[in-house]
Structures are given as C-alpha cells and as structure tokens.
Amino acid sequence: MDYLTPDGETSDGKWMPGEQTQQRWEALEEGHWNSTSLEELTAAMAAVSTMRTDQDEQTAAKATWIVAKSMEFAVGQVPLKDYTDTMKQNLAALLANSPKELAGLASGDSLDASPPGYDLSGLVTDTQFETVLYRVIDDENAADTLVTTMLQYHHDQVGSNMPTATNLEATLRGNYRNAAMTMGYLDGIAELRAGDNTPDTVDGADIDTVLRAQAYVDAANYGLLSDATMEAAATGNNGGPFSFYTEVDGQPTITAPDPMTPQAAHEYINWEDLVHDSVMNSLDITIATGDQTGRKQGHGAKITK
C-alpha cells in the first residue's frame, strides 16, 4: 500500500493523494509493462483492495482510492489483448472487494450519480468499473470469484437485515431480489462478453437453484413457512425426513451447507415441489424477476472494448 500511496491525507473520509503519490501513478502509467510485471502489479492492487473495509479510516480510504486508480489503469493503460488469465483473476478479486458498488450497478444505480451514494463515487466511472468487469469475466476462475463472493455478500445482507425487519417476508423478498439482480447482471455481462452461440462462464441455472434453495432455508428459519410445509420436510422423503431436516429442542429446523451448493440445492427444490408453499412461490417469482432485471443491466453495460 505504501508503494502505491507514499503520501497524502484523509479529508472527509476521502484519500487526497500527495505529490509523491501522483508522481508514482504517473510513472506507473508511463511504464513499459510486460505480462509478468502486469500480473505482479495487479496482484498488489488486489491485495490492497481487501483493505477497503479496514477499521482504520485512513487505511480504508487509501485502499478505496487505490482501487479506483487500479480500475482506471486497467482500462486506460492495458489493451484487452494484453489481459492474461492471471491478470483477469487478480482484477476479479479487486472487483469482488467492491461488492456494494457491484450490487448497485446491477440494480440500475450509478457511481456517477449526484449526490454520491458509494465510496467509489467520484473516483471511478460506471464505464471504467463495467469495462474491467467485462474484460475479466470470460475467465472461468475470475467469474467464479465474482459469483461466489457476491452470493456470500448477499447472504450476509440477509443476516444483517432480517433481525431488525418489521415485515419479515417483504424484507426477505427484497434481499433475494437484490441477490438475483446481481447474479443476472454478472450473467448478462458474461453473455455480452461471450457473444452469440458461445457458452459463457456464469451458470445461470445453477445460480437460480442455489438462490431458491437458500431462500427456502431462510424463510423456514424466520418462521415464514406453513406447518404443512415444515411437516413435508419431516416426512416427504419417501416417508422420512429430508437430509436437511432436524429438530432443535423439539422445534423443526432446516439446515443448510454454507455456502449452499448446486448439488445440495436440488433436495430443497424437491421439497418445494411437494408443497407449493405460497411464500416459496413468491420467492421464486421475486428471484426470477430480479434475474431478468439484472440481466438487462448486464446486457446494457457501459463498456470500452
């Protein structure tokens, strides 16, 4: 971090680079890079991006500023043809450490909006963010990093928002709409990158199954499913319980792997097929609608090829 920001200060939560820092980035932009040195530089950028959530305000502000400059560098200084697989994976990690911004773009928000709603607002444009995303998402490992990290981000949002919610069902639906928008957005950009008649790197069907299954688990554990639905979890697997059903202090409880996997998710879908619970159906519709909305955002991403 000190190499990329040798001097400067924090003002109103934002990092203001000093003269040495500006000169350092000018030198980086004027440098003659090869694939190895670009991989090393983007690895350093990705490492710094993990500090965006640091408890120290100055460290977090510096990291956010570096992330923005890194995106600007990746778009402005490195042609698409020079992106190696390793570089794509490094930059995917950097993007994944800006989950709020990524989810915001998926929902139709803008980093360019006024007043600014994101820590990267005013530092990086929608076009720069989405161009980096577009350039890296054709690498399967990069795509997997983005999908896995964003699924966890939205799962954590459910855990944060539900305990204080006054309307549990509406809050749960809202959280899963947001998650589906992000997943649809990533898939939409992957489709845009792959072009026609070419498989893309994001498996939309698997993600849909995972989101639906996790939504059913959350609905059960926040008491939103009917007694008949919970009874089906205990008896609907050829007369016995599904593997995810247990009882804690006599109370029916639905367990789940963390993270949910496509393989595990199918058993929860089988449960839903037995009962057609109204809350489950509502969550299915919400997820499908969110996916469509996010996919449109992905197809319409602002990119510089």
**Would the pLDDT of 154 be above 90?**
yes
Over range 256-271, report the average pLDDT: 96
pLDDT higher at 13 or 166: 166
Supply φ then ψ for residue 246, to 5 degrees: -150, 175
pLDDT given at position 115: 78
Mean predicted lDDT score pLDDT of the chain:
95
Over range 9-30, report the average pLDDT: 88
Over range 207-226, report the average pLDDT: 98
pLDDT given at position 196: 65
Distance from C-alpha of 201 to C-alpha of 187, rounded to nearest angstrom? 8
Q: pLDDT (tens digit, 9 = 90+) per residue, 126-144? A: 999 999 999 999 999 999 9
Distance from C-alpha of 277 to C-alpha of 280, rounded to nearest angstrom? 5
User: Does the predicted model carry a pTM greater than 0.85?
Assistant: yes
Task: Name the pLDDT band for 197 (thresholds 50, 70, 90).
Answer: low
Q: pLDDT (tens digit, 9 = 90+) per residue, 74-114? A: 999 999 999 999 999 999 999 999 999 999 999 999 998 87
pLDDT given at position 11: 83
Q: pLDDT exceeding 90 applies to what percent of the chain?
A: 85
Distance from C-alpha of 189 to C-alpha of 135, rounded to nearest angstrom? 10
pLDDT given at position 116: 77
Q: pLDDT (tens digit, 9 = 90+) per residue, 280-297? A: 999 999 999 999 999 999
In our burial notation (b when 16+ CB lie closer than 10 A, e otherwise), range 163-201 reads eeeeebeebbbbbbbbbbbbbbbbbbbbbbbeeeeeebb
Distance from C-alpha of 254 to C-alpha of 249, rounded to nearest angstrom? 13
pLDDT given at position 68: 97
> Which pairs from 53-59 meet CB under 8 Å and 24+ separation?
57/10, 57/13, 58/10, 58/15, 59/1
pLDDT given at position 277: 97
- Tally Cβ neighbours within 10 Å of residue 305: 8
Query: Which of helix, strand or coil describes residue 157?
Result: helix
Q: pLDDT (tens digit, 9 = 90+) per residue, 222-253? A: 999 999 999 999 999 999 999 999 999 999 99
